Amino acid sequence: MMGEGLLPASGIMNYELGDVAFQKQSISGSVEEVTFNLKLDSGEKALGIGQYDKVTGAMVRWKEKN
């Protein structure tokens, strides 16, 4: 489903060295915001927030907190 450009409202992506939990919400009719919570097996954590414009197909804002 993600390969087709359709991201579910929330979920977890599992990787070899940790996991990324995400949650999507609509900001406007054309912009979605996705919050990413990274948790590595080493104990490191990071938070990323991206805003994606569905009309242009581009990320319009990215913010990180470690």
Mind listing the pLDDT tens digit for each residue in 14-65?
999 999 999 999 999 999 999 999 999 999 999 999 999 999 989 999 999 8
* DSSP β-bridge partners for residue 42: none
pTM of the full structure? 0.82
Confidence band for 3, pLDDT divided at 50, 70 and 90: very low
User: Is residue 65 situated within a structural domain?
Assistant: no
Per the DSSP assignment, residues forming a β-bridge with 36 are 22, 48
* Number of domains forming the structure of the chain: 1
In a domain, residue 46? The reply is yes
What is the residue range of 23's domain?
2-60
- pLDDT at residue 2 is higher than 50: no
8 A C-beta contact, residue 8 and residue 25 = no
